[in-house]
């Protein structure tokens, strides 16, 4: 529930910032106003204290929607273990007892 409230605050801050941006640039029209009202209604649906009904979203579990799945290891862009296995022939790690001068 706290996670949903936090996400709702982020969403409302984004909507507010967008609303200020379009009004400052004089881009407010009926279409933009409708989209802003639509976004506010979605934020009210997600808010645990408001929980406004939504025709399209009520069939979804709100808590599952905001939980992101941990990405699979193979989708990360980190080098694999095999990338680290090729070391230079005469490095400290391959020959730690080399002749010291």
What is the share, in percent, of the chain residues with pLDDT greater than 70?
57
What residue ranges do the domains of the chain occupy? Answer: 2-69
33 pLDDT tier (thresholds 50, 70, 90): very high
The residue ranking higher by pLDDT, 61 or 84, is 61
Q: pLDDT (tens digit, 9 = 90+) per residue, 76-85?
A: 565 555 555 5
Residue whose token pair is 């209604």? 41
Q: What number is the average pLDDT over the span 57-79?
A: 63
Question: Could you count the other beta carbons within 10 Å of the beta carbon of residue 92?
Answer: 10
Question: Are the CB atoms for 21 and 36 separated by under 8 Å?
Answer: no
């Amino acid at each position: 529930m706290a996670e949903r409230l936090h996400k709702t605050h982020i969403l409302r801050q984004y909507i507010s910032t967008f609303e200020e941006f379009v009004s400052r640039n004089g881009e407010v029209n009926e279409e933009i106003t409708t989209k802003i009202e639509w976004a506010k209604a979605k934020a009210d649906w997600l808010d645990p204290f408001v929980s406004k009904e939504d025709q399209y979203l009520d069939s979804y579990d709100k808590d599952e929607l905001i939980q992101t799945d941990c990405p699979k290891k193979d989708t990360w862009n980190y080098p694999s273990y095999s990338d680290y296995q090729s070391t230079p022939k005469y490095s400290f790690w391959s020959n730690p007892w080399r002749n010291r001068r």
